[in-house]
Amino acid sequence: MNNRLTIGQLQIGAQGARPLGKPAANPVPNTAFKDMLDSQVLKFSQHAETRMRQRGITLGVDTLSKIEGAIDQAAAKGAKDSLVICKDVAMIVNVPSRTVVTAMDGNSLKNNVFTQIDSAVVIS
């Protein structure tokens, strides 16, 4: 699973934030920062990344922001596993870990049954 997120000129990963192109010099683990970051950052499982690549799904910054908001809403209601639908993309998200488990495009949504979810959030 790729736990790195690039924002502007920062790359954020398991070892904290660092400027792009510069290796981390003996990073000292800051577990409080990592825990806070993990509770705020949207992650994608390896399976979800593979499905998105196979299905040609790309998400822009605005869409990612909307998905993060949807996860916040689901978490506020106590959801654990949620179906998040945004335009013609659906994702199963593990809410506590903020991890997209799988993603489907519009064609994959047809005649599909979603199981093992406890909530659904539809965003535009």
How do residues 104-114 score in pLDDT, each as one tens digit? 998 888 888 99
Domain count, the chain: 2
Same-domain status, 46 and 32? no
Same-domain status, 57 and 100? yes
- Report the pLDDT value the prediction gives residue 109, as an integer from 0 to 100: 84
Per cent of the chain over pLDDT 90 is 58
Mean pLDDT of the chain: 81
Average pLDDT over residues 25-30: 58
Same-domain status, 109 and 76? yes
SS3 string, the chain, reads CCCCEEECCEEEECCEEEECCCCCCCCCCCHHHHHHHHCCCCEECHHHHHHHHHHCCCCCHHHHHHHHHHHHHHHHCCCCEEEEEECCEEEEEECCCCEEEEEEEHHHHCCCCCCCCCEEEEEC
Same-domain status, 117 and 59? yes
Determine the structural domain holding residue 13 and report its residue range.
Answer: 1-41
- Report the pLDDT value the prediction gives residue 108, as an integer from 0 to 100: 84
The yes-or-no verdict on residue 13 having pLDDT over 90 is no
Same-domain status, 97 and 54? yes
